[in-house]
Every structure is written in C-alpha cells, then in structure tokens.
C-alpha cells in the first residue's frame, strides 16, 4: 500500500465529486471501459472519488452521456507541485542553494580534536596530522580513515595505536601512547630512617645492616649501609676487608607512635543561616568592576558570602566581560554549652580523627592510649596511637 500511494503521488491524481441522477450509470460506464478509480464515497445523487490524470481525461467524455456534473475538489501529486513552483523559481533556486551549501558544509572537517594523549603534546599530534592532510577545511570523503590510523603510528615512534572517527564535522583522533620504559636507578645508596621508632624487624637483601631489633632510631639515622665486602684472597691479621658500594635493598619495620592533644571545649560558638539574603551583581572587565544593582557592602553583622562568575564562551573564543553575582547569606551566632561528658566525648572523637589523618595510607593503629590531664587551667585529652610500619628511605651516598 505504501508503494502504491507513492506511485500515485508521483503520477498525480485529482479528487472529484460527481452529481446528478446518472452517477451510477457513469460509474458503470467507467468500469466497463477500464477507467480506474479509488476511495469511492457514494451518497444518493452524489459520489466522491479519486482518479489518476489519465483516467480523468478519459472520464470527461462520459459526463454528457450520463448527464452528470463534475467538480474538482483537490489536486494531489508531484506534477501539480512542479507546476506551482514554476511560478516561484526564486524559492526553488534558494532551496536548491541551501541544500547544496548544507551538503558542502557538512562534507568539510571543521575541527580536529585529539584525545588519549598524556605525554605527547596536542600541538605535536596536530602538526603530524596536518602532514597527512588532516586539517580543518579538508574534504571528509578524501580522508581514508583506516589508512590514516595505520600511518600515524608509523610516523611517530611514541604512538602505539591511533583511531579516527567523525562526529558530524568534528574529526576526533584518539591515540594510545607506548608505555615508558622503566629505568632502574643503580646508583649507590643507603637506607635511612624516615621517622623515629623502635626497630622490630630487619631484612637485608643487599648491603650491611647497621641496626638490630630493639634499637631506637631517629629520623635520618642509617639503617642499612650500601656496601658489601669484597672477598679476595686471605687477609692479614688486623687488615680490613675491602668493600664495594652498592644500592642497599631491604626492609626495616619499627614501632611508631603518633600523638594528638585536644582541649575540652565546654562552650562552643556556632553559626547558622537565618534564611535572609541579599544579592549584588557586578560587571567585570579586566581589572575593573562595576556594580549593576544590590548593596555595595555586606548588609549583615555576620554573613557568609558566595560568589558566582558567569562568562561567555563559544568554541575557542571567550568574551572578555564577566558577570559576577555575590550573595550575602545572613548568619546568627549561637553559643552552646556542653557538660563535661559531652565535651570529653567530642574531644575524644576529634582526637581520633586527627590521629587517623596522620597515618600513612594502608597503616592501621595496633594500640591506642588515652590520657586526661589539666594544664594551665585547661582540661586536655591526649591520644597516642601505636603502629607497625616500614621506616626505610633511600638516600644516595653521593648526590
């Protein structure tokens, strides 16, 4: 049915109405002579139907025989559209020009975008792509993306893979870089303590241990010396074996203590918003600023300020004028009083949070000590956390 409707539209047809007592006779004559029609709607002395242009011409001589009147209700199809557009050639030319311009505009590359680069600069990749013909203004149909994807890694040794795809008029170049080669530093070095602690375990892979389990070390103390003895022949009594400098390797674990002190706060000031606010709007250009409306200064005794900056950008162009909105949110100061138990609980929680923030990532507290004491009329809580962690740090023997 869809194909038939389109075929009728391309050939053109008319919707007509027939009136008179001989409507039925006219329809019978049309059928007997092979004149086709469709969408027949018949009433007492009237019929409405659709006929092709060829059938319309063959139907007209039969009207006088059947004593009927014919009236054209509607003209449908491409021939009638073309006939009407012949009088409006300017509109047709403009439409054709618009379609041609749109086709040409969408057939060009308007922007080249690079993604996936980490170490390579975007300008370097764009310069390489331009050598291959990838640039704004290039015809899309002239770019063989599969060949260009293979050519980019051949032209640059640091590109492992390249993928090109179109997003409308934007050509995106996605690249994957070669992994950088790992360079192992083999310069002679010692392992020293990164922090104070009590040595719990010493594991030497290469070098000579200077400390043992149970020793107390301070930050910067030597733990494993980057030397190994050279065994060459026999040594005379009292003679020292020669040594060779190496890069010390090993692990030294120690007990570490972290300490935090927090005072007990029986009174605390807090701020909360009242719900009142005022807004000021400024126009800013370079280092100058003009107030458009709103208060020039903070209208409240205590307020929180929130600033928002609106700028206009289109692609790579940025408009130099900015709109700054400054909002003043009124606050009221509230003084809260706590009991000693409440203050102690809050201080303990704060101390543990601050203690946890001091710990290196992945290190857990093995033991926790708490102490309450007074100093200069102020009550304090002291929290000490004990951990076990590696304290070794590499230090070059000759920087």
Read off φ and ψ for residue 39, nearest 5 degrees: 55, 50
Per-residue pLDDT of the chain (399 residues; tens, 9 = 90+): 678 888 888 888 888 888 888 788 878 888 888 888 888 888 777 888 888 888 888 888 888 777 888 888 888 888 888 777 777 777 777 788 888 888 888 888 889 999 988 888 888 888 988 898 888 888 888 888 888 888 888 888 888 899 999 888 889 999 888 877 767 788 899 999 999 999 999 999 999 999 999 999 999 999 999 988 876 555 556 556 677 889 999 999 999 999 999 998 888 778 888 888 999 998 888 778 888 888 888 888 888 888 888 887 766 566 778 888 999 998 988 888 888 888 889 899 999 999 999 999 888 999 999 999 888 888 899 999 999 999 999 999 887
Which of 127, 137, 108 shows the shortest CA–CA distance to 173?
127
Neighbours of 284 (CB within 10 A): 15
Q: Which residues of 17-54 are buried (b: 16+ CB within 10 A; e: fewer)?
A: bbebebbeebbebbeeeebebeeeeeeeeebbbbbbee
pLDDT for 232: 54
For residues 33 and 87, give the distance between their C-alpha atoms in angstroms, rounded to a whole number: 37
For residues 40 and 22, give the distance between their C-alpha atoms in angstroms, rounded to a whole number: 16
Cα angle for residues 219, 221, 222 (degrees, 5° grid): 140
Total length of the chain: 399
pLDDT for 231: 65
pLDDT for 37: 84
Which listed CATH number (3.40.50.300, 3.10.20.310, 1.20.140.10, 3.90.190.10) goes with 111-177? Answer: 3.10.20.310
Domain 111-177 in the same topology as domain 2-83: no
Which of 138, 137, 139, 136 shows the shortest CA–CA distance to 126?
136
Half-sphere exposure of 254 (CA within 13 A, CB side): 24
Strand boundaries in 286-397, DSSP class E: 288-293, 303-314, 317-337, 367-375, 378-390, 392-396
pLDDT for 59: 81
* pTM as predicted: 0.47
Neighbours of 378 (CB within 10 A): 10
Percentages helix, strand, coil for the chain (3-state, rounded to 5) are: 25, 45, 30
Angle, nearest 10°, between helix axes 89-106 and 78-85? 100
Positive or negative, the CA dihedral 308, 312, 314, 317 is negative
pLDDT for 178: 84
Quickly list DSSP for 305-335.
EEEEEEEEEETTEEEEEEEEEEEEEEEEEEE
Whether 382 contacts 373, CB under 8 Å:
yes
First-residue to last-residue Cα distance in the chain: 88
Q: What are the structure tokens assigned to 202, written together?
A: 């010493």
Q: Report how far apart, in Å, the C-alpha atoms of 158 and of each of 154, 163, 184 are.
A: 9, 15, 21
For residues 56 and 334, give the distance between their C-alpha atoms in angstroms, rounded to a whole number: 93
pLDDT for 315: 61
For residues 262 and 269, give the distance between their C-alpha atoms in angstroms, rounded to a whole number: 17
For residues 178 and 176, give the distance between their C-alpha atoms in angstroms, rounded to a whole number: 7
Domains in the chain: boundaries: 2-83, 111-177, 189-233+241-253, 261-266+338-389, 272-333
Report the CATH architecture of 2-83: 2-Layer Sandwich (3.30)
């Amino acid at each position: 049915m869809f194909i038939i409707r389109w075929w009728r539209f391309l050939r053109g047809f008319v919707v007509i109405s027939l009136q008179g007592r001989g409507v039925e006779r006219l329809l019978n004559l049309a059928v007997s002579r092979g004149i086709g029609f469709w969408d027949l709607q018949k009433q007492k002395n009237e019929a409405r139907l659709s006929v092709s242009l060829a059938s319309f011409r063959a139907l007209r001589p039969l009207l006088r025989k059947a004593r009927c009147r014919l009236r054209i209700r509607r003209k449908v199809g491409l021939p009638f559209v073309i006939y009407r557009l012949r009088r409006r050639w300017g509109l047709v030319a403009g439409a054709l020009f618009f379609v041609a311009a749109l086709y040409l505009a969408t057939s060009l590359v308007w922007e080249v975008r690079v993604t996936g680069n980490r170490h390579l600069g975007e300008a370097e990749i764009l310069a390489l792509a331009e050598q291959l013909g990838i640039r704004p203004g290039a015809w899309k149909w002239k770019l063989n993306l599969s060949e260009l994807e293979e050519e980019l890694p051949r032209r640059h040794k640091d590109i492992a893979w390249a993928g090109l795809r179109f997003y409308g008029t934007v050509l995106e170049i996605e690249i994957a870089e070669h992994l950088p080669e790992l360079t192992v530093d083999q310069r002679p070095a010692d392992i020293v303590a990164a922090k104070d602690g009590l040595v719990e375990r010493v594991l030497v892979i290469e070098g000579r241990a200077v400390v043992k389990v149970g020793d107390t070390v301070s930050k910067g103390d030597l733990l494993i010396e980057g030397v190994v003895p050279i065994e060459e022949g026999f040594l005379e009594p009292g003679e020292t074996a020669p040594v060779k400098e190496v890069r010390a390797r090993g692990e030294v674990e120690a007990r570490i203590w972290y300490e935090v002190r927090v005072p007990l706060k029986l009174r605390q000031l807090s701020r909360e918003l009242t719900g009142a606010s005022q807004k000021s709007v400024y126009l800013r250009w370079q280092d100058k600023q003009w107030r458009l409306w709103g208060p020039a200064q903070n209208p409240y005794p205590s307020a929180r300020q929130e600033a928002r900056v609106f700028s206009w950008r289109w692609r790579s162009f940025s408009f130099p004028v900015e709109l700054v909105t400054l909002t003043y949110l009124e606050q009221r100061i509230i003084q809260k009083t706590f009991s000693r138990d409440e203050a102690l609980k809050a201080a303990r929680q704060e101390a543990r949070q601050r203690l946890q923030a001091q710990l290196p990532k992945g290190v857990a507290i093995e033991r926790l000590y708490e102490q309450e004491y007074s100093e200069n009329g102020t009550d304090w809580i002291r929290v000490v956390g004990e951990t076990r962690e590696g304290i070794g740090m590499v230090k070059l023997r000759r920087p």
